[in-house]
Chains A and B, each alone.
Chain A
Protein backbone atom coordinates (compact mmCIF):
# COMPACT_ATOMS: atom_id res chain seq x y z
CA UNK A 1 0.00 0.00 0.00
CA UNK A 2 1.42 3.40 -0.93
CA UNK A 3 -0.02 6.86 -0.49
CA UNK A 4 0.77 10.50 -1.18
CA UNK A 5 -0.49 13.63 -2.85
CA UNK A 6 -0.84 14.52 -6.53
CA UNK A 7 1.23 17.65 -5.85
CA UNK A 8 4.32 15.47 -5.72
CA UNK A 9 3.31 12.40 -7.71
CA UNK A 10 1.45 12.67 -11.03
CA UNK A 11 -1.34 10.30 -12.02
CA UNK A 12 0.65 9.32 -15.13
CA UNK A 13 3.52 8.18 -12.88
CA UNK A 14 1.07 6.38 -10.58
CA UNK A 15 -0.51 4.48 -13.47
CA UNK A 16 2.92 3.59 -14.91
CA UNK A 17 4.10 2.32 -11.52
CA UNK A 18 1.03 0.10 -11.07
CA UNK A 19 1.34 -1.14 -14.66
CA UNK A 20 5.06 -1.98 -14.36
CA UNK A 21 4.46 -3.78 -11.05
CA UNK A 22 1.56 -5.77 -12.51
CA UNK A 23 -0.54 -4.57 -9.57
CA UNK A 24 -4.10 -5.52 -8.74
CA UNK A 25 -6.07 -3.19 -6.48
CA UNK A 26 -7.46 0.33 -6.44
CA UNK A 27 -6.02 3.82 -6.23
CA UNK A 28 -8.45 5.95 -4.21
CA UNK A 29 -8.34 9.72 -4.62
CA UNK A 30 -9.65 11.76 -1.73
CA UNK A 31 -10.10 15.25 -0.44
CA UNK A 32 -10.58 15.90 3.28
CA UNK A 33 -10.84 12.13 3.79
CA UNK A 34 -13.75 11.84 1.37
CA UNK A 35 -13.05 9.49 -1.53
CA UNK A 36 -14.11 11.22 -4.78
CA UNK A 37 -12.34 9.11 -7.41
CA UNK A 38 -10.98 5.62 -8.05
CA UNK A 39 -8.83 3.84 -10.62
CA UNK A 40 -8.97 0.04 -10.44
CA UNK A 41 -6.21 -2.30 -11.69
CA UNK A 42 -6.06 -5.98 -12.53
CA UNK A 43 -2.65 -7.48 -13.25
CA UNK A 44 -1.29 -4.02 -14.09
CA UNK A 45 -4.09 -3.06 -16.46
CA UNK A 46 -6.74 -0.41 -15.76
CA UNK A 47 -10.18 -2.01 -15.60
CA UNK A 48 -12.23 0.67 -13.87
CA UNK A 49 -12.28 4.40 -13.19
CA UNK A 50 -14.79 6.70 -11.56
CA UNK A 51 -14.83 10.32 -10.47
CA UNK A 52 -17.86 12.05 -8.94
CA UNK A 53 -20.45 10.34 -11.12
CA UNK A 54 -18.23 10.05 -14.25
CA UNK A 55 -17.14 6.56 -15.24
CA UNK A 56 -14.51 5.16 -17.61
CA UNK A 57 -11.66 7.03 -19.32
CA UNK A 58 -13.55 10.33 -18.87
CA UNK A 59 -12.99 9.96 -15.12
CA UNK A 60 -9.20 9.59 -15.59
CA UNK A 61 -9.23 12.66 -17.87
CA UNK A 62 -10.85 14.66 -15.07
CA UNK A 63 -8.53 13.35 -12.37
CA UNK A 64 -5.43 14.06 -14.45
CA UNK A 65 -6.12 17.83 -14.33
CA UNK A 66 -6.05 17.94 -10.52
CA UNK A 67 -3.10 18.38 -8.18
CA UNK A 68 -4.52 18.81 -4.70
CA UNK A 69 -5.98 15.35 -4.13
CA UNK A 70 -4.51 12.73 -1.83
CA UNK A 71 -4.16 9.20 -3.14
CA UNK A 72 -3.79 5.77 -1.65
CA UNK A 73 -3.26 2.47 -3.43
CA UNK A 74 -5.07 -0.37 -1.72
CA UNK A 75 -4.48 -3.88 -3.06
CA UNK A 76 -7.32 -5.25 -0.94
CA UNK A 77 -9.95 -3.28 -2.86
CA UNK A 78 -10.69 -5.11 -6.09
CA UNK A 79 -13.47 -3.45 -8.09
CA UNK A 80 -15.81 -5.95 -9.72
CA UNK A 81 -17.28 -3.55 -12.31
CA UNK A 82 -15.24 -3.21 -15.51
CA UNK A 83 -15.77 0.03 -17.44
CA UNK A 84 -12.40 0.26 -19.23
CA UNK A 85 -10.95 -2.25 -21.67
CA UNK A 86 -8.62 0.11 -23.57
CA UNK A 87 -4.90 -0.61 -23.80
CA UNK A 88 -3.05 1.15 -20.97
CA UNK A 89 -0.47 2.73 -23.32
CA UNK A 90 -3.27 4.29 -25.36
CA UNK A 91 -4.86 5.61 -22.13
CA UNK A 92 -1.57 7.19 -21.06
CA UNK A 93 -1.04 8.87 -24.44
CA UNK A 94 -4.66 10.04 -24.64
CA UNK A 95 -4.64 11.43 -21.09
CA UNK A 96 -1.28 13.18 -21.54
CA UNK A 97 -2.56 14.85 -24.70
CA UNK A 98 -5.78 15.86 -22.92
CA UNK A 99 -3.77 17.42 -20.10
CA UNK A 100 -1.65 19.47 -22.53
CA UNK A 101 -4.71 20.62 -24.49
CA UNK A 102 -6.58 21.50 -21.29
CA UNK A 103 -3.66 23.60 -20.03
CA UNK A 104 -3.59 25.48 -23.33
CA UNK A 105 -7.36 25.92 -23.19
CA UNK A 106 -7.38 27.33 -19.66
CA UNK A 107 -4.87 30.01 -20.72
CA UNK A 108 -7.42 31.07 -23.34
CA UNK A 109 -10.22 31.11 -20.74
CA UNK A 110 -8.01 33.12 -18.36
CA UNK A 111 -7.53 35.81 -21.03
CA UNK A 112 -11.24 35.81 -21.84
CA UNK A 113 -12.37 36.42 -18.23
CA UNK A 114 -9.51 38.81 -17.41
CA UNK A 115 -10.48 41.12 -20.26
CA UNK A 116 -14.19 41.11 -19.48
CA UNK A 117 -14.32 40.86 -15.65
CA UNK A 118 -10.83 41.34 -14.26
CA UNK A 119 -10.82 37.84 -12.73
CA UNK A 120 -8.25 37.32 -9.96
CA UNK A 121 -7.55 33.73 -10.89
CA UNK A 122 -8.79 31.13 -13.34
CA UNK A 123 -7.78 27.54 -12.52
CA UNK A 124 -9.01 23.97 -12.77
CA UNK A 125 -11.35 23.45 -9.85
CA UNK A 126 -9.83 21.30 -7.12
CA UNK A 127 -13.08 20.16 -5.46
CA UNK A 128 -12.63 22.05 -2.22
CA UNK A 129 -16.36 22.43 -1.65
CA UNK A 130 -18.58 19.61 -0.39
CA UNK A 131 -21.50 20.60 -2.64
CA UNK A 132 -19.93 18.64 -5.50
CA UNK A 133 -19.48 15.37 -3.61
CA UNK A 134 -23.04 14.09 -4.15
CA UNK A 135 -23.63 14.16 -7.94
CA UNK A 136 -26.43 11.62 -7.53
CA UNK A 137 -28.42 14.26 -5.62
CA UNK A 138 -27.41 17.46 -7.43
CA UNK A 139 -25.36 17.35 -10.63
CA UNK A 140 -24.01 20.88 -10.44
CA UNK A 141 -23.13 22.70 -13.66
CA UNK A 142 -22.70 26.16 -12.16
CA UNK A 143 -21.71 27.15 -8.62
CA UNK A 144 -21.49 30.64 -7.22
CA UNK A 145 -20.48 31.71 -3.73
CA UNK A 146 -20.02 35.04 -1.98
CA UNK A 147 -18.47 34.86 1.49
CA UNK A 148 -18.60 38.56 2.30
CA UNK A 149 -15.27 39.19 0.56
CA UNK A 150 -14.60 36.92 -2.41
CA UNK A 151 -16.94 36.05 -5.25
CA UNK A 152 -16.17 32.56 -6.53
CA UNK A 153 -17.69 30.85 -9.54
CA UNK A 154 -17.18 27.26 -10.66
CA UNK A 155 -18.65 26.21 -13.98
CA UNK A 156 -18.57 23.04 -16.03
CA UNK A 157 -16.77 23.88 -19.25
CA UNK A 158 -18.42 22.12 -22.17
CA UNK A 159 -15.28 22.08 -24.33
CA UNK A 160 -13.01 20.15 -21.94
CA UNK A 161 -15.74 18.62 -19.73
CA UNK A 162 -13.92 19.91 -16.64
CA UNK A 163 -14.84 22.37 -13.93
CA UNK A 164 -13.08 25.73 -13.96
CA UNK A 165 -12.89 28.04 -10.94
CA UNK A 166 -13.01 31.81 -11.33
CA UNK A 167 -12.29 34.24 -8.50
CA UNK A 168 -13.47 37.83 -8.80
CA UNK A 169 -12.73 40.94 -6.76
CA UNK A 170 -16.39 41.93 -6.63
CA UNK A 171 -19.86 40.47 -7.06
CA UNK A 172 -20.99 39.97 -10.64
CA UNK A 173 -24.56 39.59 -11.78
CA UNK A 174 -25.24 35.89 -12.33
CA UNK A 175 -27.36 36.45 -15.43
CA UNK A 176 -24.62 38.60 -16.95
CA UNK A 177 -22.02 35.92 -16.31
CA UNK A 178 -24.24 33.11 -17.64
CA UNK A 179 -25.01 35.10 -20.78
CA UNK A 180 -21.30 35.78 -21.31
CA UNK A 181 -20.51 32.06 -20.97
CA UNK A 182 -23.28 31.22 -23.39
CA UNK A 183 -22.08 33.80 -25.91
CA UNK A 184 -18.56 32.33 -25.76
CA UNK A 185 -19.96 28.80 -25.97
CA UNK A 186 -18.12 27.56 -22.89
CA UNK A 187 -20.71 26.95 -20.16
CA UNK A 188 -23.56 24.50 -20.09
CA UNK A 189 -26.50 24.28 -17.72
Chain B
Protein backbone atom coordinates (compact mmCIF):
# COMPACT_ATOMS: atom_id res chain seq x y z
CA UNK B 1 0.00 0.00 0.00
CA UNK B 2 1.42 3.39 -0.93
CA UNK B 3 1.17 6.19 1.58
CA UNK B 4 -0.11 8.61 -1.06
CA UNK B 5 -3.19 6.46 -1.59
CA UNK B 6 -4.25 7.34 1.99
CA UNK B 7 -4.03 11.09 1.55
CA UNK B 8 -7.54 11.81 0.29
CA UNK B 9 -9.45 9.37 2.57
CA UNK B 10 -7.63 10.63 5.68
CA UNK B 11 -8.39 14.28 4.90
CA UNK B 12 -11.99 13.36 4.15
CA UNK B 13 -12.22 11.47 7.44
CA UNK B 14 -10.97 14.51 9.37
CA UNK B 15 -13.33 16.86 7.50
CA UNK B 16 -16.45 14.74 7.81
CA UNK B 17 -16.10 13.78 11.48
CA UNK B 18 -16.28 16.83 13.74
CA UNK B 19 -14.64 14.98 16.64
CA UNK B 20 -11.45 14.13 14.70
CA UNK B 21 -8.55 16.54 15.28
CA UNK B 22 -5.89 14.70 13.28
CA UNK B 23 -4.99 11.41 11.64
CA UNK B 24 -1.44 10.08 11.47
CA UNK B 25 -0.46 7.21 9.19
CA UNK B 26 2.87 5.41 9.22
CA UNK B 27 3.84 3.05 6.44
CA UNK B 28 7.09 1.98 4.83
CA UNK B 29 9.30 4.32 6.92
CA UNK B 30 7.15 7.36 6.13
CA UNK B 31 4.73 9.21 8.38
CA UNK B 32 1.92 11.41 7.08
CA UNK B 33 -0.04 13.87 9.21
CA UNK B 34 -3.58 14.99 8.31
CA UNK B 35 -3.55 17.91 8.87
CA UNK B 36 -0.03 18.81 9.95
CA UNK B 37 0.49 18.93 13.74
CA UNK B 38 2.81 20.84 16.08
CA UNK B 39 6.39 19.60 16.47
CA UNK B 40 6.03 18.53 20.12
CA UNK B 41 3.16 16.21 19.24
CA UNK B 42 5.03 14.98 16.16
CA UNK B 43 7.97 13.89 18.31
CA UNK B 44 5.59 12.27 20.78
CA UNK B 45 3.79 10.28 18.09
CA UNK B 46 7.08 9.38 16.39
CA UNK B 47 8.24 7.74 19.64
CA UNK B 48 5.00 5.76 19.87
CA UNK B 49 5.29 4.71 16.21
CA UNK B 50 8.87 3.48 16.80
CA UNK B 51 7.56 1.37 19.66
CA UNK B 52 4.64 -0.02 17.67
CA UNK B 53 6.75 -0.99 14.65
CA UNK B 54 7.79 -4.01 16.75
CA UNK B 55 4.26 -4.88 17.88
CA UNK B 56 2.05 -7.55 16.38
CA UNK B 57 -0.59 -6.61 13.78
CA UNK B 58 -3.93 -6.08 15.51
CA UNK B 59 -2.27 -4.32 18.47
CA UNK B 60 -4.00 -1.21 19.70
CA UNK B 61 -3.46 1.66 22.11
CA UNK B 62 -5.97 4.05 23.62
CA UNK B 63 -5.15 7.15 25.63
CA UNK B 64 -7.77 9.28 27.36
CA UNK B 65 -6.93 12.76 28.64
CA UNK B 66 -9.28 15.43 30.03
CA UNK B 67 -9.47 16.90 26.51
CA UNK B 68 -8.99 14.12 23.98
CA UNK B 69 -8.90 10.47 23.01
CA UNK B 70 -5.95 9.07 21.08
CA UNK B 71 -6.52 5.76 19.39
CA UNK B 72 -3.78 3.77 17.61
CA UNK B 73 -4.29 0.64 15.57
CA UNK B 74 -1.65 -1.45 13.81
CA UNK B 75 -2.87 -3.16 10.66
CA UNK B 76 -0.25 -5.44 9.09
CA UNK B 77 2.69 -3.04 8.50
CA UNK B 78 0.73 0.19 8.77
CA UNK B 79 0.17 2.15 11.97
CA UNK B 80 -2.90 4.39 12.15
CA UNK B 81 -3.37 7.04 14.86
CA UNK B 82 -6.46 9.16 15.40
CA UNK B 83 -6.54 12.15 17.74
CA UNK B 84 -10.10 13.10 18.72
CA UNK B 85 -11.99 15.40 21.02
CA UNK B 86 -13.70 13.55 23.87
CA UNK B 87 -17.24 14.77 23.27
CA UNK B 88 -18.25 11.37 21.88
CA UNK B 89 -17.90 7.88 23.32
CA UNK B 90 -14.66 5.89 23.07
CA UNK B 91 -16.51 3.02 21.38
CA UNK B 92 -17.74 5.38 18.65
CA UNK B 93 -14.19 6.64 18.05
CA UNK B 94 -12.93 3.08 17.72
CA UNK B 95 -15.80 2.02 15.48
CA UNK B 96 -15.50 5.02 13.12
CA UNK B 97 -11.72 4.78 12.87
CA UNK B 98 -11.71 1.00 12.37
CA UNK B 99 -14.23 1.49 9.54
CA UNK B 100 -12.03 4.22 8.02
CA UNK B 101 -8.98 1.90 8.16
CA UNK B 102 -10.86 -0.94 6.47
CA UNK B 103 -12.35 1.37 3.83
CA UNK B 104 -9.05 3.03 2.98
CA UNK B 105 -7.40 -0.37 2.61
CA UNK B 106 -10.18 -1.59 0.33
CA UNK B 107 -9.77 1.54 -1.78
CA UNK B 108 -6.02 0.90 -1.96
CA UNK B 109 -6.70 -2.55 -3.40
CA UNK B 110 -9.20 -1.49 -6.09
CA UNK B 111 -6.65 -0.27 -8.65
CA UNK B 112 -4.72 -3.54 -8.38
CA UNK B 113 -7.89 -5.57 -8.98
CA UNK B 114 -8.91 -3.40 -11.90
CA UNK B 115 -5.42 -3.54 -13.41
CA UNK B 116 -5.47 -7.31 -13.17
CA UNK B 117 -8.87 -7.44 -14.90
CA UNK B 118 -7.80 -5.08 -17.70
CA UNK B 119 -4.63 -7.07 -18.30
CA UNK B 120 -6.57 -10.23 -19.08
CB B96 to nearest CB in A, in angstroms, measures 14
Contact (A175, B44) CB under 8 Å given A138-B70, A142-B63? no
Choose one: B40, B56, B62, B89; the contact of A137 (CB below 8 Å).
B40
List, in ascending order, chain A residues with CB within 8 A of B64's CB: 140-143, 189
Choose one: B47, B59, B91; the contact of A130 (CB below 8 Å).
B47
The answer to whether the Cβ of B106 comes within 8 Å of any Cβ in the partner chain is no
* Residue total for B at the interface (Cβ-Cβ under 8 A): 25
The answer to whether the Cβ of B18 comes within 8 Å of any Cβ in the partner chain is no
Residues facing A in B19-76 (CB within 8 A) are: 40-41, 44, 47-48, 51, 55-66, 68, 70
Assess the B63–A175 pair: CB atoms within 8 A.
Answer: no
The answer to whether the Cβ of A146 comes within 8 Å of any Cβ in the partner chain is yes
CB B12 to nearest CB in A, in angstroms, measures 26
Q: How distant is the Cα of A175 from the Cα of B88 in the complex, in angstroms?
A: 11
Residue of B nearest to A154 (CB): B63
Give a binary string over A166-189; 1 marks a CB under 8 Å from any B CB, 0 the rest: 000000011100100000000001
The answer to whether the Cβ of A10 comes within 8 Å of any Cβ in the partner chain is no
List, in ascending order, chain A residues with CB within 8 A of B55's CB: 147-148
Assess the A189–B91 pair: CB atoms within 8 A.
Answer: no
List, in ascending order, chain B residues with CB within 8 A of A149's CB: 56
The answer to whether the Cβ of B104 comes within 8 Å of any Cβ in the partner chain is no
Assess the A175–B48 pair: CB atoms within 8 A.
Answer: no
Choose one: A130, A141, A174, A178; the contact of B65 (CB below 8 Å).
A141
**A142-B64, A144-B62, A189-B66 given. 7 additional CB < 8 A pairs?**
A137-B41, A138-B63, A138-B70, A139-B66, A141-B66, A143-B63, A174-B62
